[in-house]
Structure 1
Amino acid sequence: MKKQLICLALAGTAMTSTTVQAVEIADTGIDFYGSLRIMLEHAEYADDTEYKDASSRIGLKGERDLGEGLKAFAKYEVAVNLDNEGDSIGDMRYGYLGLSGDWGAISGGKVASPFYDAVGYYGDYMWWDSAPVYYTLDGGSRIGQSALYESPDLAGLKLKALVQIDDDDNDDEGQHQLGANYSIGNLTLGAAYTDAANDKDIYGLSASYSGNGFYINGAWIDRDDTGSGIDALIGVPSGKNLYTLGLSSLDDDAGTDDFDAVILAFQRSLHRDVLVWVEAMAWDGTLYGIEDSNVVHVGMNFNF
């Protein structure tokens, strides 16, 4: 759900499933972008309908050509809350500086998780209800106070490595991550590993295939002494519409928080930057602390 930019170009149809069409601030080389998102949530367990923000964000990003194939780049992105009239600016989502060249790129700050990019991303194509196994096992999507290396494209192979600096403020201080993706034709495979400071290391595998008018994704995650499971989905674009079916299953090591979930989603693009969506999820077992229930979300996104 929380992705930098996903484009599905299937059967001549482009379906944008995240953030932005950045607008350059005049004569600065800096892009200002954002995605404002609202939704209504009806949860069976609460017997109530609520208006909520759906992970809105705004940001700045830019780069400078330093010559001889070297570039400097920076990005700063914060969450914004459209359901709170008071404190509407939330936590920093990204904040980093870096250098790139033919050898790849290195950056420091709050950066994208290699584990998420290689594995979690492929089960997380919907807006709100996707990848419940990944988020239950807390694979992470952005890691603060870190150094990240990203390799160039090595004949279809891309590698990422992250080191988080030890700090008392970090819940998972000192973690290390490795992620890899290999693409050949319409097939992309991924693998990732997190060496967590709490000894609950995480392992993951992913696969994604784009066919003629459909795509199929799957992500398997295992966290030591916690549990393992899979998030899988199939998507079918049709004109301005996108239909998605998701299946998730978690085997909890303690045997108390197992669940099986089914997710149905519909998305319609009203404009390149405007879309509406509906998602419904039902589950057996315990998901996010709630037993045997269902939830429906109806939302709208405006990207700029």
Structure 2
Amino acid sequence: MTGIANAADLSSATKSLDDAVTNGEKAIEDAVGPKLDVDLYGSARVGFDYIEAGVSQDGLNGRDFLSRIGVKAKYQLNDRFSVFGQFEYGTRSDVVDFVQNGGLTLRIASVGVGHKDYGTLSFGSQTTVFHSFVRGSYFSDGLDTVRLATIREDDYLQYRFKYGNFKFGIGTQLEGQDGDNFDQVQVGAEYSIGPVKLQAAYAKDLEGPLQGNLYGVRAFWKINDIFTLSAYHHQQDDEFDFPSGAGSTGTLRLRASGGGLGNINFIPTCVGEDRTASGIYGSARVKEHQFHARYAVDSCDTSGDVQSIKGEYVYHYDKNLRFWTSVEHLENDAGRVPTALVGITDNFTSFQGGLRLDF
């Protein structure tokens, strides 16, 4: 019985010591005051693509699929307020390739203030509200085609708020002393209920004589642990021309080295026309194996359509490492064929393979 009593006394003493250490650490933190957390991160996304466009320049090309490196810092002022900042740079100085001796390219440079209950307010070069809510990527390369608007903007001021299953964001751009204090305004919202997530966003062009509108909606349905479905629709009117051309990012490109073709965008814009981008998506994942696909149409009311079918297989080694291979095929109406390829071909195929390592 004495041994049992001693064991109990030892356990109690150990607990008391742990409590004392914890209380001591908290007392030190309270005495020191604000706490600074710094996080260095990166993502290496390297691979290749093979473009088949019916020209002699078709071939294999090494690719950088939006690799980046960055740093985040958060300064916790007290139990409610914090100040944060972020810098992120892409590792390519070219629209497609790595380039020897090429410089880093800015992706994000922002600072902001946050409140535990009332959200965050940030300013700088950062991801837009419209992208965050209705145009995020489905595929591993992060360069999904058939989307309207852009990923990031400079001089962008935004407020984000989350309450339970509801998210809200509003942003505006103050770029250039051109007589327009506010170049655009964007708002977005998201609501989740069980396996369903609903998203909507709106952008108003406030720059120049043409000041159009852009709308977007998207939905996700996680059927079970294996299957997920999604659909989206983006629509802009003929006066929406911000940024210049009001085009989509992440398009398929032929990086021709000769023959006068240059860098060809397979999904031309249609400035001055009503334009929509709509798609349906499905994913099946069993453990580390995932197959997902999307059918989408980029439609201009006068120039015509571009149809896209893309499928991708992903092997998820773990949450930080994945390998993928994909194929995407485009069918272009006559009015949407790139100028350099008119009379040569009206369909294009991209085969892709890559590795993504997040750290």
- Find the residue that maps to 1:83 and give its secondary structure: coil
CA contact (8 A) 2:324 2:355 kept: yes
The Cα of 1:63 is off from its aligned counterpart by 0.6
In 1, Cα distance between equivalents of 2:46 and 2:182: 33
State yes or no: 1:228 paired with 2:276: yes
CA distance in structure 2 between the aligned counterparts of 1:73 and 1:228, rounded to whole angstroms: 37
Say whether 1:31 aligns with 2:39.
Answer: yes
Residue of 167, 179, 186 corresponding to 1:177: 186
Q: Is the 8 A contact 2:36 2:76 kept in 1?
A: no
Q: Which residue of 1 aligns with 2:326?
A: 279
Map of 1:85-124 to 2, 5 A cutoff? 85-90=100-105, 92-101=106-115, 102-121=117-136, 124=137
Amino acid at match of 2:279: D
For 1:83, the equivalent position in structure 2 comes to 98
Is contact 2:325–2:351 with CA below 8 Å preserved after alignment? Answer: yes
Paired residues of 1:120 and 1:131 also in contact (CA < 8 A): no
Query: Which one has the bigger helix percentage?
Result: 2
Residue in 2 aligned with 1:294? 349
Distance 1:278 1:234 in 2: 17
CA distance in 1, matches of 2:280, 2:203: 21
| Structure-2 residue corresponding to 1:200 | 212
Q: Secondary structure at the match of 1:140?
A: coil
**CA deviation after TM superposition for structure 1 residue 88, in Å:** 4.2
**Hey, what's the Cα distance between the residues in 2 that align with 1:183 and 1:159?**
12
Task: Find the residue that maps to 2:102 and give its secondary structure.
Answer: coil
Q: SS at the partner of 1:118?
A: helix
- Aligned equivalents of 2:337, 2:88: Cα separation in 1: 27
Give how far 1:232 is off: 2.1
Shift of 1:30: 0.9
Structure 1 residues 129 and 94: CA distance shift in structure 2, 3 A: closer
Distance 1:247 1:288 in 2: 19
Higher Cα Rg, which structure: 2
Amino acid at match of 2:227: F
Taking only aligned residues, the RMSD between alpha carbons, in angstroms, comes to: 2.3
- Is the 1:130–1:263 contact (alpha carbons within 8 Å) kept by the matching residues of 2? no
User: Deviation at 1:152?
Assistant: 2.4
What is the Cα deviation at residue 85 of structure 1? 1.4
Counterpart amino acid of residue 66 in structure 1: L
Aligned to 2:300: 252
Q: Displacement, 1:157?
A: 1.7
TM-fit CA distance, 1:259: 1.2
Structure 1 runs, 4 residues or longer, greater than 4 Å off? none
- Local SS of the residue matching 1:36: strand
- Number of residues of Structure 1 aligned to a counterpart in Structure 2: 269
Question: Could you say which structure has the higher strand fraction?
Answer: 1
1:130 Cα deviation from its structure 2 partner: 5.8
- Normalization by structure 2: what TM-score? 0.70
Q: d(CA) in 2 for partners of 1:262 and 1:200?
A: 29
Q: 1:130 to 1:51 in 2, by over 3 A?
A: closer
CA offsets 1:155-186 (integer angstroms, 9 cap, x no match): 422110001114159xx971110011111111
Which structure exhibits the higher relative contact order, with contacts defined as CA atoms closer than 8 Å and separated by 6 or more residues?
1
The reply on whether 1:160 has 2:169 as its aligned counterpart is yes
Structure 1 counterpart SS, 2:77: strand
Letter in 2 for 1:167: G
1:52 is aligned to 2:107: no
Partners of 1:234 and 1:131 lie apart in 2 by 14
| CA displacement 1:216-236 (0-9 Å, x = unmatched) | 111100011141121221111
Deviations 1:199-252 (A, max 9, x none): 232111110111111111111000111411212211111121110011101221
Partner SS, residue 167 of structure 1: coil
**Amino acid across the alignment from 1:272:** K
Q: Deviations over 1:242-277 (max 9, x none)?
A: 100111012212224x11111010110234322110
1-structure distance, mates of 2:337, 2:39: 37
Q: 1:152 to 1:272 in 2, by over 3 A?
A: closer
